[in-house]
Amino acid sequence: MKKKEYVIIGGGFSGCALAWSLLKNTDSRITLYSGSQKKLGGHLQSIQTEQGLVEKAANALMNDSLVEELFSDLKITMVSKSKWASKKWFYLESQFRRWPLSLAATIRFFYGYFFLIKILNNIPQKNQSVSEYAESIFGKTSKILFQSALQGVYGAQVEDLSAYNCLSSLRGGIEIINKPERELQYHASVAPLGGMGQLGTAFEKYFEQSPRIKIINEDFKSEIRPRENKIYVLSTDAQSASSLLSLIIPKGESGKSDSINKINLLKKISYRALYSVTLFPKKRSSKRGFGCLFPENKTFLGVLWNKDIFQRPGLNSETWVISGKIKKEENKLLDELESFRNKTYQITEELQSVPHFITYWPKAIPSFDLNHESALSALLKADKHPELGFVSLIESQVYAFGNYTGAIGLNKILTRAWNISHTKF
């Protein structure tokens, strides 16, 4: 029987995780196109500055046996959280708090969780926002808790997020197929010692050792010619996947109609823009911990106190996650951040004079709104394994896989990629 060949278009974390999983669990041959960045890792980028490490996007991933298997294969040294990292703060009504709900609201929240969800199985339904679901199950005052928990992940207001997709863990988590038997070295969040950008470099070194995979450091420019035993995986953003799919002309009128429908569905999936601003200030908040969320603010979503998260060398730094809905000049952005930061921390510090690094991501994260939910549900409607988020675009020949096709979070993407490699398509 002829071995399968995979052509993975997109060298971000999703594409790399799938390539690694296929190498580990199948005998397939793989071609991986890294894209215009000409290197692997996508948004996972780190800068080593004279002040210390700067992460341009995600700073960690949740650990499990699969993450440790990956780090072991890639020969990456894991860094563990510091003693302060378990502390998280919320800034509400001009005060730092450890918990955003009152005692009465907390009791109502636990009633909703243990009785309405665990016993009565009132799980999120389709076409329902997070705000609507939270109010119906946990009471009106619970909105601030969900806003706190989700805006740092999705960069959005809970009124704009799909409960079905964003609270998918309430419907049951994703189990790892043939889970690697490993005793966990660390629990909770972990990261490479050299920063998240180290993952891309380590993937490349790992792939270079295998004769079954070929890395092409450029955009995919060939024609997609579906044929037996050759599978194309569009591991790009949704808009790029729609453009690539439009180059394929399936046989027959029904095939053409289905392809056009899926192109239009992919186009409906939008993205949110975010800024990542890392500062090396002389003054810091009086609080210690992982960071702080600002659920009452639609612009400044949260801040990470990097020195309190991981045990790494370097000066004190903090990374702000800021809405990029309105693109601004860097000086204006810094001035607005300076005003908000000084007021919040009750200090005076001019940010133009401290080392700072600003990254603008126009497509930082999928919207996960109700339009996204509707489009993804339609794309996965005929799939036998919708939980994998391996979207069939042309049956048995062309698929889409990425952070917009299923459960979000790097460890969940890794789990989905691993499970795909154990599933027959």
What's the CATH number where 119 sits? 1.10.3110
For residue 66, is it within any domain? no
Are residues 281 and 247 located together in one domain of the fold? no
Last residue of a domain, one of 321, 336, 366: 366
Q: Is residue 328 part of a domain?
A: yes
The total of other beta-carbon atoms located within 10 Å of residue 36's CB is 8
At 183 the pLDDT is 87
Which of 213, 195, 176 has the alpha carbon at shortest distance from 54? 195
> Structural domain tally of the chain?
3
CB 368 within 8 A of CB 408: yes
* Pair 116, 248 in one domain: no
Do 306 and 346 belong together in one domain?
yes
**In 187-269, at which residue ranges do the beta strands (DSSP E only) sit?**
189-192, 213-216, 230-234
Residues 362 and 373 reside in one and the same domain: no
277 with 331, same domain? yes
pLDDT of 364 reads 94
Residue 159 forms part of a structural domain? yes
38: domain CATH number? 3.50.50.60
For the chain, list residues with pLDDT below 70. 1-2, 226, 249-255
The reported pLDDT for the residue numbered 23 is: 97
- Tell me, yes or no, whether 259 and 319 share the same domain: no
Instruction: Confirm whether 191 is domain-assigned.
Output: no
- In-domain check, residue 74: no
H or E element, residue 365: strand 356-366
- Domain check: are 291 and 331 in the same one? yes
Residue 110 inside a domain? The answer is yes
* Whole-angstrom distance, CA of residue 40 vs CA of residue 37: 8
Considering the domain architecture, whether residues 259 and 397 belong to the same structural domain is answered as yes
pLDDT at 419: 97
List the beta bridge partners of residue 191: 79
148 neighbors 293 (Cβ within 8 angstroms): yes
Which pLDDT does position 108 carry in this prediction? Answer: 94
Among 344, 366, 388, residue at a domain's last position: 366
Residue 1 confidence (pLDDT) = 43
Based on the domain organization, do 249 and 381 belong to the same domain?
Answer: yes
User: Looking at the domain assignment, is residue 9 inside a domain?
Assistant: yes
Interstrand relation of 5-9 and 29-33 (parallel, antiparallel or unpaired): parallel
Range of the domain at 112: 101-171
**The predicted structure's pLDDT at residue 131:** 96
